[in-house]
């Protein structure tokens, strides 16, 4: 009785940042639930390697490499995605970069533009270009990858946090705009997840001792635990969820540190 809730057969998913730690987990989970995947990342060889792996396991996957820092490339990605299968049912904007560390007043204009172009503007552009087609097909789901860095102040990666906070607000705005046409838009805000992006933090024993003391589950998250939430939001299981930022952080942001 429950399996159809998470069934993605017949759905076409465009996933950006597909070859990173979270991207691979999301691709594998979506494929396991029957989705047809269009994988996008800046490295074409990495995209093809992931697609080949998925195909070897009987899944449907193709590649659409893209440099999300270039708006012309982003627009071409949207057009190519629609041409590939004639529809996009789910858009997962997972691509992102951390950008510079340090105070905001030390960020250069170029760094500001690069982080915002990749993390925020590409997601806004892809959503704007693909949601009308979703609506024409009866509806769809957009999933934006935010972060708990966008939910609280941060002195180390403030620009990253700003971009992730903006993604959560983008989800709310688009949910209001597109809900009447049955297009749902949500964000996921992961905490510390065991991915290559977090490798330096995971290796820092002082940081880990402090962070785990602040996290009720006392461990970092695993990529598949984010992927599972993405599958839920893409499927019938999430059909009445829109405009939300789902925090997946083991309780870090609700803890008093005891």
Q: Are 41 and 17 in contact (CB under 8 A)?
A: yes
Give the span between the Cα atoms of 246 and 94, in whole angstroms.
14
Distances (CA, A) of 172 to 39, 116, 212, 220: 25, 18, 30, 27
Task: Please pick, among 25, 160, 175, 211, the residue that the annotation labels catalytic.
Answer: 160
Three-class HEC string of 105-120: HHCCHHHHHHHHHHHH
CB half-sphere exposure, 154, CA atoms < 13 A: 21
Give the span between the Cα atoms of 1 and 174, in whole angstroms.
32
DSSP E strands in the chain: the ranges are 12-16, 36-40, 60-63, 90-93, 140-145, 183-190, 245-248
Give the span between the Cα atoms of 63 and 58, in whole angstroms.
16
CB half-sphere exposure, 88, CA atoms < 13 A: 28
Q: Which run of H or E residues covers position 127? A: helix 122-136
Give the span between the Cα atoms of 101 and 230, in whole angstroms.
28
67 is an active site residue = no
Residues 6+ positions from 218 with CB-CB distance below 8 Å: 212, 250
Give the span between the Cα atoms of 197 and 201, in whole angstroms.
9
Catalytically active residues are 160
């Amino acid at each position: 009785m429950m399996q159809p809730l998470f069934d993605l057969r017949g759905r076409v998913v465009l996933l950006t940042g597909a070859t990173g730690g979270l991207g691979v987990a999301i691709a594998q989970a979506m494929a396991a639930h029957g989705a047809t995947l269009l994988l996008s990342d800046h490295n074409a060889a990495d995209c093809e390697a992931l697609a080949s792996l998925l195909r070897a396991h009987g899944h449907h996957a193709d590649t659409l490499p893209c440099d999300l820092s270039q708006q012309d490339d982003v627009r071409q990605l949207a057009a190519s995605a629609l041409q590939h299968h004639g529809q996009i049912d789910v858009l997962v904007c997972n691509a992102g970069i951390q950008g510079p560390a340090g105070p905001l007043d030390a960020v250069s204009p170029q760094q500001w533009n690069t982080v915002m172009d990749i993390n925020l503007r590409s997601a806004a552009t892809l959503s704007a270009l693909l949601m009308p087609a979703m609506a024409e097909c009866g509806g769809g789901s957009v999933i934006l990858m935010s972060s708990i860095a966008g939910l609280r102040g941060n002195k180390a990666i403030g620009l990253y946090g700003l971009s992730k906070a903006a993604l959560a607000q983008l989800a709310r705005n688009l949910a209001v705009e597109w809900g009447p046409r049955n297009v749902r838009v949500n964000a996921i805000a992961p905490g510390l997840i065991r991915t290559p992006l977090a490798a330096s933090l995971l290796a820092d024993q002082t940081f880990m001792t402090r962070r785990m003391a602040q996290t009720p589950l006392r461990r970092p998250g695993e990529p598949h635990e984010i992927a599972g939430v993405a599958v839920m939001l893409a499927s019938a299981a999430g059909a009445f969820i829109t405009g939300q930022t789902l925090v997946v952080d083991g309780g870090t942001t609700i803890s008093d540190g005891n």
